């Protein structure tokens, strides 16, 4: 509990004690007191508990912001005093403050839920200077500096381990409790906790560009992007409050003037009407539901950039996947070498030389399979052809390594391979030399992820890949995907997503029988930035080290498990269920009790329940969104 909340709690206790004393003093000890003495007795606890509400209402009126919950509470309670209902006036303000304290504690708990999971901001970094290890601000560390991370310390900046090995706790980033082993040569990310061993890490990114900095910035700005439901409640309250004030005035004035009823009774009904109408339950519980949903997602290693993306994700009924690194491991291995006019060793050596500068997973697998390293002096001009392969000059000869399209472009007659996998064809000086087959492994939880998506009501699952038709269709069949598109260049992937989005637009415009409402694209966040940006919802997998993931995606999964995708959609759907429940419950109860109050059936105590009671119940319901799935 914060210092401010403790002060509010103390005021509630003091006011409650003073109210009981005033009630006993005026009701039992001295029953025949003058009205002004009774007023003074009850005004003291009222002033203790309500002075800040009176001040806020007055300040807002001075700034032209008249119609808010502070104004409603002041109008209702001062009105109660005006008609001689002193205890009711104090009770209404007292219970209103109890509700406000409860709301404040709930919001604080939600913020703490996120901050605890995202408590990854490093306090210091260890660096060796003049033979001594000293602590400095992480922002003082430059790229290339070597930092020392001891057991129990948090890694302050992204880097590469130069020496040492350790188990790393990545829970704050990925939501996974199982430690990850890291050793010399491995990349490590800021925010992980070193559980064992001393690590010497060479920094690769300054603090402002590090993973921890980007994640903290993402989380801090998440609440600024409101969902449609939140914006609706904001606009609703703006018109709702003046309407109920006008309705209360009419309720107090028209029956006595037109029908000749007594002023006191109808003024009391109008005050009860005002107390009931306060929109606190909606104004607090709906944003709290989204904030709790974002917090609950972060506890599962899922970063959502705002409530609007959570709302859009809940409506998703088509999920489009990139293949490599998303549904498959992205770790390629050479599984077959089929030479035509040279030996296997010569074919591998030539292909490895062509791919010398490339860091693509396929290129790395070829270089790893080659028994000897390439002499850089053999290389001449190297030209990468997007989506097709590489053209290079090796030992003065023009060599091509890549897809069948590249062979056709080079004017070389090539042949298909009977094995399933990615085929890299090799040709030199217009002569076909053979091909190398590289295979990728499906991730263990990919199939289960697709099944769970179907259970969540996802109508269509699609895979896009630049791989061959045979490879794509085989993987799609194994995973149970609805559609697969193969041999796609990066621009082709954008075009396919555009086609799928056109189905949605067709449905909205009534031109065609569209099949989907909202489309989510899932990629590795590095090469798929254009598609991530174009989809309704862009989801980057395993993007904790990727600038492109954090920039282009709307949702970032902090590890590379496909099972986190149905989990994210499940959290979004649960959050929206809670939001709808709160809206229906709050409005339903208020409308019923407002009608009862207008007809004189509801008293002031029932009015207090319709305001504070409904708020508390709605907040308790909203807090369910914070719960980590699996808890």
Taking only the tens place, the pLDDT of each residue in 268-325 is 888 878 777 777 667 777 877 888 888 788 778 888 888 888 888 999 999 999 888 8
DSSP state for residue 328 in the 8-state scheme: B
Using alpha carbons, list the distances in angstroms from residue 286 to 94, 135, 244, 289, 590.
Answer: 24, 44, 21, 5, 16
Q: What is the 3-state secondary structure (H, E, C) of 522-588?
A: EECCCCCHHHHHHCCEEEEECHHHCHHHHHHCCEEECCCCCCHHHHHHHHHHHHHHHHHHHHHHHHH
Q: Report helix, strand or coil for 425.
A: strand
Structure confidence at residue 202 as a pLDDT band (50, 70, 90)? very high
- Which superfamily does CATH assign the domain made up of 333-439 to? Calcium-transporting ATPase, cytoplasmic domain N (3.40.1110.10)
- 119 vs 421, higher pLDDT: 421
Does the pLDDT at position 223 exceed 60?
Answer: no
Active site residue 528: no
Q: Which residue has the tokens 């990114």?
A: 205
Does the pLDDT at position 222 exceed 60?
Answer: no
Helix (H) or strand (E) holding 173: helix 171-174
- Portions of the chain given CATH number 3.40.1110.10: 333-439
User: What is the predicted pLDDT for the residue at 224?
Assistant: 55
- 530 vs 183, higher pLDDT: 183
| Mean pLDDT within 496-517 | 65
d(CA 309, CA 291): 12
Task: Quickly count helices (H) and strands (E) in the chain.
Answer: 21, 22
By residue count, the chain amounts to: 631
Listed residue (431, 403, 430) closest to 417, CA to CA: 403
CATH of domain 302-328+442-571: 3.40.50.1000
- 446 vs 528, higher pLDDT: 446
d(CA 229, CA 175): 28
d(CA 524, CA 532): 9
Side-chain half-sphere exposure of 417, counting CA atoms within 13 A: 26
CATH T-level fold of 142-205: 2.70.150
User: What is the predicted pLDDT for the residue at 510?
Assistant: 47
| Mean pLDDT within 88-105 | 78
d(CA 596, CA 79): 19
| Mean pLDDT within 45-60 | 88
Neighbours of 257 (CB within 10 A): 11
User: What is the predicted pLDDT for the residue at 313?
Assistant: 92
- Portions of the chain given CATH number 2.70.150.10: 142-205
User: What is the predicted pLDDT for the residue at 562?
Assistant: 92
Between the ranges 320-329, 498-507, 616-625, where is the mean pLDDT highest? 320-329
User: What is the predicted pLDDT for the residue at 554?
Assistant: 86
Instruction: Please answer whether residues 350 and 426 qualify as being in contact, where contact means their C-beta atoms are separated by less than 8 angstroms.
Output: yes
- 32 vs 410, higher pLDDT: 410
Angle, vertex CA 108, rays to CA 551 and CA 292, nearest 5: 50
Q: Report helix, strand or coil for 302.
A: strand
Structure confidence at residue 114 as a pLDDT band (50, 70, 90)? low
User: What is the predicted pLDDT for the residue at 131?
Assistant: 77
The torsion region of residue 411 among left (phi > 0), alpha (psi -120 to 50) and beta comes to left
* Least confident interval from 44-53, 473-482, 582-591: 582-591
pLDDT exceeding 90 applies to what percent of the chain?
19
d(CA 125, CA 156): 6
User: What is the predicted pLDDT for the residue at 622?
Assistant: 82
Structure confidence at residue 442 as a pLDDT band (50, 70, 90)? confident
User: What is the predicted pLDDT for the residue at 508?
Assistant: 46
Structure confidence at residue 574 as a pLDDT band (50, 70, 90)? very high
| Mean pLDDT within 222-236 | 64
| Mean pLDDT within 588-599 | 84
d(CA 175, CA 46): 48
User: What is the predicted pLDDT for the residue at 73?
Assistant: 76
d(CA 154, CA 169): 9
DSSP code string of 356-408 = TT--SHHHHHHHHHSSSPPPGGGEEEEEEETTTEEEEEETTEEEEEE-HHHHH
User: What is the predicted pLDDT for the residue at 109?
Assistant: 67
User: What is the predicted pLDDT for the residue at 257?
Assistant: 85
Does the pLDDT at position 157 exceed 60?
Answer: yes
Beta strands 180-182 and 199-203, pairing class: unpaired
Listed residue (164, 156, 200) closest to 182, CA to CA: 164
pTM of structure: 0.69
User: What is the predicted pLDDT for the residue at 619?
Assistant: 80
pLDDT exceeding 70 applies to what percent of the chain?
86
Structure confidence at residue 549 as a pLDDT band (50, 70, 90)? low
Does the pLDDT at position 503 exceed 80?
Answer: no
At 159-169, the pLDDT tens digits run 999 999 998 88
- Portions of the chain given CATH number 3.40.50.1000: 302-328+442-571
What torsion do the CA atoms of 153, 154, 155, 161 make, to the nearest 10 degrees? 40
Does the pLDDT at position 13 exceed 60?
Answer: yes
Token pair in block for residue 263: 């002023």
Angle, vertex CA 355, rays to CA 350 and CA 359, nearest 5: 155
Contacts of 170 (CB under 8 A, 6+ apart): 176, 179, 180, 189, 192, 559
Report CA torsion sign: 357, 363, 365, 368. Answer: negative
Token pair in block for residue 399: 């060599």
Does the pLDDT at position 79 exceed 90?
Answer: no
d(CA 261, CA 315): 52
Does the pLDDT at position 329 exceed 60?
Answer: yes
User: What is the predicted pLDDT for the residue at 30?
Assistant: 60
User: What is the predicted pLDDT for the residue at 201?
Assistant: 93
Structure confidence at residue 91 as a pLDDT band (50, 70, 90)? confident
User: What is the predicted pLDDT for the residue at 233?
Assistant: 66
Helix (H) or strand (E) holding 253: helix 228-254
At 555-570, the pLDDT tens digits run 888 778 899 999 999 9
Does the pLDDT at position 445 exceed 60?
Answer: yes
| Mean pLDDT taken over the chain | 82
Token pair in block for residue 302: 């899922």
Q: Which of 169, 322, 536, 611 is catalytic?
A: 322
Contacts of 218 (CB under 8 A, 6+ apart): 303, 305, 550, 556
Structure confidence at residue 513 as a pLDDT band (50, 70, 90)? very low
Structure confidence at residue 342 as a pLDDT band (50, 70, 90)? confident
| Mean pLDDT within 225-236 | 66
């Amino acid at each position: 509990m914060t210092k401010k909340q403790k002060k509010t709690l103390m005021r509630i206790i003091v006011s409650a004690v003073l109210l009981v004393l005033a009630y006993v003093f005026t009701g039992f000890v001295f029953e025949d007191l003058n009205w002004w003495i009774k007023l003074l007795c009850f005004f003291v606890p009222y002033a203790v508990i309500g002075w800040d509400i009176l001040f806020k209402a007055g300040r807002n009126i001075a700034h032209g912001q008249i119609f808010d919950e502070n104004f409603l509470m002041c109008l209702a309670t001062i009105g109660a005093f005006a008609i001689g209902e002193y205890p009711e006036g104090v009770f209404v303000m007292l219970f209103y403050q109890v509700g406000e304290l409860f709301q404040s504690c709930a919001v604080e708990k939600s913020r703490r839920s996120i901050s605890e999971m995202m408590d990854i901001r490093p306090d210091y970094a260890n660096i060796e200077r003049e033979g001594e290890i000293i602590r400095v601000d992480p922002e003082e560390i430059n790229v290339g500096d070597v930092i020392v991370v001891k057991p129990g310390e948090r890694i302050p900046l992204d880097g590469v381990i130069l020496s040492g090995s350790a188990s790393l706790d990545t829970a704050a980033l990925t939501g996974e409790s199982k430690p990850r082993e890291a050793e010399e040569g491995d990349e490590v990310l800021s925010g992980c906790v070193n559980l064992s061993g001393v690590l010497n890490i060479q920094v690769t990114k300054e603090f402002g560009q590090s993973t921890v900095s980007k994640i903290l910035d993402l989380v801090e700005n998440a609440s600024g992007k409101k969902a449609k439901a939140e914006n609706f409640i904001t606009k609703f309250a703006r018109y709702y409050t003046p309407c109920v004030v006008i309705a209360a005035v009419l309720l107090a004035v028209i029956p006595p003037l037109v029908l000749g009823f007594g002023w006191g009774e109808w003024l009391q009904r109008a005050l009860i009407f005002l107390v009931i109408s306060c929109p606190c339950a909606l104004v607090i519980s709906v944003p709290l539901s989204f904030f709790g949903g974002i917090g609950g997602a972060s506890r599962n290693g899922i970063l959502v950039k705002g409530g609007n993306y959570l709302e859009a994700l809940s409506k998703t009924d088509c999920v489009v996947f990139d293949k490599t690194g998303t549904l498959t491991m992205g770790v390629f291995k050479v599984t077959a070498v089929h030479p035509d006019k040279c030996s296997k060793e010569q074919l591998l050596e030539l292909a490895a030389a062509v791919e010398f500068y490339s860091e693509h997973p396929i290129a790395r697998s070829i270089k790893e399979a080659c028994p000897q390293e390439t002499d850089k002096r053999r290389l001449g001009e190297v030209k990468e052809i997007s989506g097709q392969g590489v053209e290079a000059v090796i030992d003065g000869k023009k060599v091509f390594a890549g897809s069948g399209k590249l062979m056709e472009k080079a004017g070389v007659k090539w042949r298909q391979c009977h094995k399933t996998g990615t085929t890299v064809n090799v040709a030199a000086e217009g002569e076909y030399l053979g091909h190398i087959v590289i295979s990728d492994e499906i991730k263990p939880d990919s199939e289960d992820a697709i099944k769970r998506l179907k259970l969540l009501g996802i109508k269509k699952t699609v895979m896009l890949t630049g791989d061959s038709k045979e490879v794509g269709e085989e993987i799609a069949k194994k995973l149970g995907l609805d559609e697969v598109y193969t041999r796609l260049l990066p621009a082709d992937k954008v075009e396919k997503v555009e086609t799928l989005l056109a189905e949605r637009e067709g449905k909205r415009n009534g031109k065609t029988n569209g099949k989907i409402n909202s489309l989510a694209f899932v990629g590795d966040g590095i090469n798929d930035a254009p598609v991530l940006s174009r989809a309704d919802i862009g989801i980057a997998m395993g993007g904790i080290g990727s600038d492109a993931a954090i920039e282009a995606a709307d949702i970032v999964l902090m590890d590379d498990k496909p099972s986190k995708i149905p989990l994210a959609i499940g959290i979004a759907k649960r959050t929206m269920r809670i939001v709808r429940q709160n809206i229906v419950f709050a409005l339903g109860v208020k409308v019923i009790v407002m009608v009862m109050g207008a007809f004189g059936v509801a008293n002031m105590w029932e009015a207090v329940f319709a305001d504070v009671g409904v708020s508390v119940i709605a907040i308790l319901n909203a807090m369910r969104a914070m719960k980590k799935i699996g808890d």
